[in-house]
Amino acid sequence: MTAYIVRRLFATLPVMAVVAVFVFFLIRFAPGDPAAIIAGEDATAEAIAQVRAKLGLDRPFMEQFFIWILQMLQGDLGVSIFSNLPVSRLIVQRVEPTVALTLSTLFVAVALAIPIGVVAAWKARRLVDRLVMGFAVLGFAMPVFVLAYILIYFFAVQWQLLPVQGYRPIAEGFWPFVESLILPSVALGVTYMALIARITRASMLEVLAQDYIRTANAKGLATDRVLLLHALKNAAVPIVTVIGIGIALLISGVVITETVFNIPGLGRLTVDAVLKRDYPVVQGLILVFAAAKVLVNLIIDISYAFLDPRIRY
């Protein structure tokens, strides 16, 4: 197993290398000349050339590329064009809210979706199933920002149970931190919960029709053991796959939720950097997001081997 994990880790290196090359060229070929933007609207050609030299954009392409790669390997993602702060520092500053929001959303979604999907499959085609799945469809169809405003209106404005918006770092106390995450996590998690609940139901239904479930029932086992151990463990691989896809979707969703709830995370940093064409920051963020997705993929792959002994590694 350890050998398998190490092997999988090494297999991610080429992927990351491809992403790095892609990011570099993407930014270089994107429309708009960063030097001209930075120099300002009425800048002379001379001033623009100066800025270009300062950024190293006047050097040969391959040279720029190798310098960039070398810096990156040292953990240096460059310097923001606007704030002059190192990109790595900007990212580290903004990472906590995003990680916290992603994990809490994931928690909300999975903690609701799996029981819902299991119960729906168990009571397939009965009232509970129809109600729960109808709810899931509704959740799936609801745009995140609409749900977010509805939640804010009731829970924050009308009933004043939770803060309207903003983020409280965990360093300022656990409960305020949790409170600030509840509404955004629910808003973001509902779509995602619907997706996982549906796949859980479908996967469970297939498993519940298998012969080994009849064997489990022929032992007189309690219903929860049959459902949660015998069936769910077999149904887990597609569910985990969808959770993985969902995390990728979540990362895009974070941009909207952070804006709506005014959370200073990577999503907001991305929006700001893109609007200002702060290329080093955008580059750094794409790399970080890509690395996060590769990591999630890796974890999902490894979890398959734990869930299903037939998967060979």
Partner 1 sequence: MSVTSGNILEVRGLQTQFNTLDGVVRAVDGVSFDLARGETLGIVGESGCGKSVTALSILRLIPPETGRIAGGSIKFEGEELTTLGEEAMKGLRGHRISMIFQEPMTSLNPVLTVGTQIAENVVRHMGVSWRAARERSFEMLDLVRIADARRRLDEYPHQLSGGMRQRVMIALALSCDPQVLIADEPTTALDVTIQAQILDLMLELKEKTGTAIVLITHDLGVIAETTERVVVMYAGRKVEEAPVEALFAEPLHPYTRGLMRAIPRLDIEADAAGMRPRLQEIPGLVPRLTQPIPGCAFAPRCGFATERCRAEPPPLVDAGGGHTVACWEVDRVRASAL
128 binds partner 1 (CB under 8 A): no
From residue 87 to residue 116, the character string flagging contacts with partner 1 as x (rule: CB under 8 A) and all else as - is: ------------------------------
174 binds partner 1 (CB under 8 A): no
49 binds partner 1 (CB under 8 A): no
The nearer residue to partner 1, 232 or 260, going by C-beta atoms, is: 232
Rounded-to-integer distance, Cα 110 and Cα 80, Å: 37
Report the sign of the C-alpha dihedral through residues 210, 213, 218, 223, in that order: negative
Closest distance to partner 1 from the beta carbon of 67 (Å): 51
305 binds partner 1 (CB under 8 A): no
Give the binding-site size for partner 1 (rule: CB under 8 A): 23
Contacts 24+ apart (CB under 8 A), 175-184: 177/100, 178/104, 180/263, 181/100, 181/101, 181/104, 182/155, 183/148, 183/151, 183/152, 183/155, 183/156, 183/261, 184/101, 184/105, 184/148, 184/257, 184/258, 184/260, 184/261, 184/263
Options 32, 60, 75, 309; binder of partner 1; rule CB under 8 A:
309
The nearer residue to partner 1, 7 or 214, going by C-beta atoms, is: 214
The nearer residue to partner 1, 102 or 234, going by C-beta atoms, is: 234
Paired strand residues for 86: 79
234 binds partner 1 (CB under 8 A): yes
From residue 210 to residue 229, the character string flagging contacts with partner 1 as x (rule: CB under 8 A) and all else as - is: xxx-xxxxxxxxx--x---x
Rounded-to-integer distance, Cα 59 and Cα 28, Å: 12
Q: Which stretch binds partner 1 (CB under 8 A): 23-31, 37-45, 55-63, 208-216?
A: 208-216
Closest distance to partner 1 from the beta carbon of 309 (Å): 4
Q: Which stretch binds partner 1 (CB under 8 A): 93-101, 176-184, 255-263, 305-313?
A: 305-313
249 binds partner 1 (CB under 8 A): no
The nearer residue to partner 1, 52 or 230, going by C-beta atoms, is: 230
Q: Which residues bind partner 1 (CB under 8 A)?
A: 124-125, 210-212, 214-222, 225, 229-230, 233-234, 307-310
